[in-house]
């Protein structure tokens, strides 16, 4: 999911994540890159299952999806009966979401917004969803503060865990970025830091769902759901997924 917002600036240059998702080609190819192939579909199915379970029952539920990108999560929630507002920084990404909503006949509110300053009143929605945003956001704690401000009940976010193999990939990408290479860098977060950020706004973590011990990149290279389910199941059975799994999806409750 892309970061929502109109471009904050770092070091006199627009933040890389805003530039990246403003590219029409990136927007059109986003779903195929992220969710294409058997492992991509597995990722999407797991994500949708977590959201549906955490926000049940969906009918009548009001939800804002911050950094909605092409609207995959927002459309799934709306199709299940929730009233959903999808916000994103990129008009190109929102154009894909708007087209998809029209093609599927799903009612979806859409708007451009900054995740650091949401255009919603305090506690104006039941829940806020924010996927694949904190890892890129300029000030991730401020994004958490905004999600907590607008949600009456629950907030759902995900992030790459510091205690995982994602730590090494993140470090490599940040190094490549400093050399001027065109790479989408990201940060990893510790469970303690995330819990502290939510606690500062009156929320506690009620669920923590780690996904893979091995990297998503590796699973996509092997590209066999049976391998992924088997290996990750075995690692989970001995407790490694709980300790080192990533990305982690959390549910925080007021």
Q: What is the 3-state secondary structure (H, E, C) of the chain?
A: CCCCCCCCEECCEECHHHHHHCCHHHHHHHHHHHHCHHHHHHHHHHHHHHHHHHHCCCCCCEEEEECCCCCHHHHHHHHCCCEEEEEECCHHHHHHHHHHHHHHCCCCEEEECECCECCCCCCCEEEEEECCCCCCCCCHHHHHHHHHHHEEEEEEEEECECCCCHHHHHHHHHHHHHCCCCCCCCCCECHHHHHHHHHCCCCEEEEEEEEECCCHHHHHHHCCHHHHHHHHHHHHHCCHHHHHCEEEEEEEEC
Would you state the pLDDT for residue 14?
59
Render pLDDT for 28-80 as a digit per residue (tens, 0 to 9): 776 776 777 888 888 888 889 999 999 999 999 999 999 999 999 999 999 99
**Domains along the sequence of the chain with CATH:** 9-253 (3.40.50.150)
Instruction: Indicate if the pLDDT at residue 2 is higher than 50.
Output: no
* Angle separating helix axes 37-55 and 24-35, nearest 10 degrees: 90
Of 2, 252, 1, nearest to 128 by C-alpha is 252
Render pLDDT for 170-187 as a digit per residue (tens, 0 to 9): 999 888 888 887 777 899
Of 151, 119, 117, 252, nearest to 109 by C-alpha is 119
Cα-flanking dihedrals φ and ψ of residue 84, to 5°?
-120, 135
Would you state the pLDDT for residue 150?
98
Q: Would you place residue 168 in the very low, low, confident or very high pLDDT band (cuts 50, 70, 90)?
A: very high
Given a contact cutoff of 8 angstroms between Cβ atoms, the answer to whether 109 and 82 are in contact is no
Would you state the pLDDT for residue 185?
84
Given a contact cutoff of 8 angstroms between Cβ atoms, the answer to whether 145 and 139 are in contact is no
Render pLDDT for 229-246 as a digit per residue (tens, 0 to 9): 999 999 999 999 999 999
Q: b vs e for 41-56, b when ≥16 Cβ sit within 10 Å of the residue's Cβ?
A: ebbbeebbebbeebbe
The verdict on pTM exceeding 0.85 is yes
Render pLDDT for 87-142 as a digit per residue (tens, 0 to 9): 998 899 999 999 999 999 999 999 999 899 999 999 999 999 999 999 999 999 99
Which residue do the tokens 């860098």 mark?
Answer: 185
CA distances to 33, 72, 73 from 43, in Å: 12, 12, 12
d(CA 238, CA 232): 10
172 vs 24 pLDDT, higher one: 172
Of 213, 219, 208, 201, nearest to 240 by C-alpha is 213
Q: How many CB atoms lie within 10 A of CB 112?
A: 15
d(CA 52, CA 78): 11
Whether the bond between 39 and the residue before it is cis, its omega within 30 degrees of 0, is: no
Which residue do the tokens 């990149």 mark?
Answer: 217
What would the two tokens of residue 108 be? Answer: 């979806």
């Amino acid at each position: 999911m892309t970061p929502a917002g109109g471009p904050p600036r770092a070091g006199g240059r627009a933040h890389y994540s805003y530039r990246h998702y403003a590219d029409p080609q990136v927007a059109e190819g986003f779903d195929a890159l992220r969710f294409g192939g058997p492992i991509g579909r597995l990722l999407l199915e797991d994500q949708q299952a977590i959201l549906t379970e955490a926000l049940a029952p969906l009918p009548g539920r009001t939800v804002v999806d911050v950094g909605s990108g092409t609207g995959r999560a927002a459309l799934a929630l709306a199709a299940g009966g929730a009233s959903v507002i999808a916000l994103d920084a990129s008009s190109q990404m929102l154009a894909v979401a708007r087209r998809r909503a029209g093609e599927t006949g799903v009612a979806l509110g859409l708007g451009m917004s900054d995740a650091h300053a949401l255009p919603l009143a305090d506690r104006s929605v039941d829940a806020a969803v924010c996927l694949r945003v904190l890892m890129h956001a300029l000030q991730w704690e401020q994004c958490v503060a905004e999600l907590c401000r607008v949600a009456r009940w629950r907030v759902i976010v995900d992030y790459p865990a510091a205690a995982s193999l994602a730590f090494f990939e993140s470090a490599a990408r940040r190094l490549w970025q400093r050399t001027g290479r065109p790479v989408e860098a990201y940060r990893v977060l510790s469970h303690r830091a995330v819990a502290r950020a939510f606690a500062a706004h009156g929320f506690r973590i009620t669920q923590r769902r780690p996904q893979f011990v091995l990297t998503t990149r590796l699973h996509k290279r092997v590209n066999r759901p049976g391998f992924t389910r088997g290996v990750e199941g075995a690692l989970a059975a001995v407790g490694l997924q709980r300790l080192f799994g990533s990305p982690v999806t959390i549910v925080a409750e007021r």
